[in-house]
């Protein structure tokens, strides 16, 4: 019998399923004291938790531990690296809580629109203030959904009965997939300018931190509403505070920097604030519990490893090639344009890399979507793409081309309704160094994507490289490396500069305008 510890308030269905299997002894303690429970049961084989921390010390207390399952999506409370070092697999149950969060968004919209919270308190106090609580209807309003993953698409479905106009932003979702839930894909500026409600469903990353700031908030209608059930850091609180004073914007909030008691910095600007209740439904808890038990059984009986979030790379594959694929996909995305809607991903793995082609789709997807866990397996990656209406093809390589141990990544996407664009990037690893050898027709670049980079494509003519160098110097940027390519029978050139610090978007835009660039981007690798 394998002992499973559940030191959390998790639906009993997890224990019931495991006990019914006949191979597990289940010890569940609703008190949630992980340390105490582990101290009593050092022979535990598996640990199922919700938000409880699983530290290196806890892992050390359980010498027989082989599996930790987070009954939910986020696993930042688990020391996954130390678990890997100790041979412990960590799993999560993504998607189990999605409907709970989607319904919470609608509940917040309705509660705010009809002043239900304040009206309840007033009525209980014996007052009768019907005029004071004149509300508005959600029906017929324009709702912008920023992020069309599982939760964003469910929000769209739940709002379908209200006959709202639904606008969506997600460069990783095709227009066809968005249309399945009656969402019209557009850009962020349009969403914030036209929406009565904007619901946020994006991860907090370096790119999205304070994304919802002065520029986007400044576009909103007077009295419009932002709903944040995503992550606290995506909203610039100070910018919202200013916009609220100027425009009377409203904020319905469920997320905070830390889930803990105490004063909240957002209290003065949130019209409704609740303690991270998105996944706090009996159904979500039961779904996560059921998934936890089923995944443990499938892992033990069938070797299913799809939801392991700290897996090792396959034996025989140099990790540098995982970094290479991740880098090539990032470069591809930047050349294609962040606003383009992806349609297809194609990849060729040459030489000894061909046996690992299925696995290498994982770091490619992780590069294109920061929320995706790069420790997942290829089945999860392909399902992730399928859910977003993006096709993937692993091409059979022609090794006669001599691209030994090289990888080519192609992205195909819609720039707008009429224009489709394809970008192809090839690279390899030379003496342990990741190298980008080709971007579209610009070959033999042999560029090391490291540090801060800025890139421009333009119509070839004398003096342009000098103009770019002078402009970078004017911005107090020191050039550390340059790669320049001008293919035969082409009027286009590509210039890539590595500089000593990050290049601001305004500087890139100024140079691009000055040299009439047809493509430009800056990045940090």
pLDDT of residue 232: 93
8 Å CB contact between 326 and 364: yes
In whole angstroms, what is the distance from residue 418 CA to residue 323 CA? 34
Beta bridge pairs of residue 54: 78
| pLDDT tens figures, 378-423 | 888 898 899 889 999 999 887 777 778 899 999 999 887 788 999 9
Please say whether the structural domain 98-273 has been given the CATH code 3.40.50.720: yes
SS3 of 94-156: the string is: CCCCHHHHHHHHHHHHHHHHCCHHHHHHHHHCCCCCCCCCCCCCCCCCEEEEECCCHHHHHHH
Query: Measuring CA to CA, which residue among 260, 268, 262 is closest to residue 237?
Result: 268
Where do the structural domains in the chain lie, given as residue ranges? 2-96+282-302, 98-273, 314-440, 451-525
Q: CATH says 451-525 is which class?
A: alpha beta
Query: 314-440: same fold as 2-96+282-302?
Result: no
Cα 170 to Cα 175, 200, 388: the distances in Å are 10, 11, 9
CB atoms within 10 A of CB 483: 19
Q: Which residues sit opposite 342 in a β-bridge?
A: 413
Asked whether the beta carbons of 164 and 143 are under 8 A apart, the reply is yes
Q: How much is the mean pLDDT over the chain?
A: 92
294-323 tens-digit pLDDT: 999 998 988 888 888 887 777 788 888 989
For 135, residues 6+ apart whose C-beta sits below 8 A from its C-beta are 113, 114, 115
| 370/354 Cα distance (integer angstroms) | 25
- Whether pLDDT at 32 is above 70: no
- Which pLDDT tens digit goes with each residue over 151-206? 999 999 999 999 999 999 998 888 888 999 999 999 999 999 999 999 999 988 87
Residues paired with 185 in a beta bridge:
168
Residue 401 tokens, joined: 């081309």
* 70-105 confidence digits (pLDDT tens): 998 878 789 998 998 898 999 999 888 899 999 999
Mean pLDDT for 341-348 is: 93
Q: Where residue 466 falls among pLDDT bands split at 50, 70, 90?
A: very high
- What's the CATH fold of domain 2-96+282-302? Rossmann fold (3.40.50)
What pLDDT is stored for residue 200 in this prediction? 97
Tell me, letter by letter, the H, E, C secondary structure of 231-264.
CHHHECHHHHHHHHHHHCCEEEECCCCCCCCCCC
The secondary structure of residue 341, as a DSSP letter, is E
98, 101, 103, 106 alpha-carbon torsion, rounded to 10°: -130
Give the sign of the dihedral formed by CA 453, CA 394, CA 339, CA 388: negative
Answer positive or negative: Cα dihedral of 504, 510, 512, 515: negative
What is the third-level CATH fold of 314-440?
60s Ribosomal Protein L30; Chain: A; (3.30.1330)
Count of Cβ atoms closer than 10 Å to residue 438 Cβ: 20
Cα dist from 370 to 107, 326, 367, whole Å: 29, 11, 6
Dump pLDDT digits (tens) for 212-259.
999 999 999 999 999 999 999 999 999 999 999 999 999 999 999 988
């Amino acid at each position: 019998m394998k002992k499973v510890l559940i030191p959390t308030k998790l639906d009993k269905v997890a224990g019931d399923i495991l006990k019914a299997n006949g191979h597990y002894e289940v010890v569940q303690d609703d008190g949630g004291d992980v340390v105490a429970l582990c101290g009593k049961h050092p022979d535990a084989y598996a640990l199922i938790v919700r938000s409880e921390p699983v530290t290196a010390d806890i892992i050390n207390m359980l010498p027989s531990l082989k599996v930790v399952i987070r009954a939910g999506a986020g696993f930042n409370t688990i020391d996954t690296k130390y678990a890997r070092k100790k041979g412990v697999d960590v799993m999560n149950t993504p998607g189990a809580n999605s409907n709970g969060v989607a319904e919470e968004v609608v509940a917040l919209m309705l509660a705010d629109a009809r002043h239900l919270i304040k009206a309840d308190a007033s009525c209980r106090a014996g007052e009768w203030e019907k005029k004071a609580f004149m509300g508005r209807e959600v029906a017929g309003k324009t709702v912008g959904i920023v992020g069309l993953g599982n939760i964003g698409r469910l929000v769209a479905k739940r709002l379908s009965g209200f006959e709202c106009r639904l606008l969506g932003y997600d460069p990783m979702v095709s227009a066809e997939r968005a249309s399945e839930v009656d969402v019209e894909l557009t850009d962020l500026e349009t969403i914030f300018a036209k929406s009565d409600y904007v619901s946020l469903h994006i991860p907090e990353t370096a790119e999205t931190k304070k994304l919802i700031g002065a520029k986007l908030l400044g576009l909103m209608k007077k009295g419009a509403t932002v709903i944040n059930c995503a992550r606290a850091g995506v909203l610039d609180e100070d910018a919202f505070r200013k916009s609220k004073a100027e425009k009377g914007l409203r904020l319905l909030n469920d997320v905070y920097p830390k889930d803990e008691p105490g004063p909240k910095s957002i209290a003065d600007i949130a019209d409704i604030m609740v303690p991270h209740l998105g996944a706090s439904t009996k159904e979500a808890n039961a779904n996560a519990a059921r998934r936890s038990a089923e995944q443990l059984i499938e892992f033990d009986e069938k070797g299913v490893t799809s939801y392991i979030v700290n897996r090792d790379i396959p034996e025989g594959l140099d990790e540098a090639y995982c970094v290479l694929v991740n880098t090539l996909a990032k470069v591809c995305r930047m050349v294609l344009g962040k606003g383009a809607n992806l349609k297809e991903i194609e990849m060729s793995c040459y030489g000894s890399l061909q046996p690992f082609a299925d696995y290498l789709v994982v770091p490619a997807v992780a590069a294109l979507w920061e929320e995706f866990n790069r420790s997942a397996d290829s089945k999860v990656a392909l399902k992730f793409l399928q859910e977003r209406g993006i096709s993937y093809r692993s091409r059979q390589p022609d090794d006669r081309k001599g691209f030994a141990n090289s990888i080519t990544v192609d992205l195909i996407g819609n720039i707008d309704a009429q224009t489709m664009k394809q970008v192809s990037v090839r690279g390899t690893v030379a003496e342990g160094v990741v190298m980008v050898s080709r971007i579209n027709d610009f070959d033999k670049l042999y560029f090391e994507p490291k540090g801060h980079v800025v890139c421009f494509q333009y119509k070839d003519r004398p003096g342009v490289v000098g103009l770019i160098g002078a402009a970078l110097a004017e911005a107090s940027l020191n050039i550390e490396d340059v790669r320049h390519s001008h293919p035969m029978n082409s009027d286009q050139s590509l210039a890539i500069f590595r500089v000593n610090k990050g290049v601001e978007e305004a500087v890139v835009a100024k140079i691009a305008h000055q040299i009439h660039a047809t493509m430009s981007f800056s990045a940090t690798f």
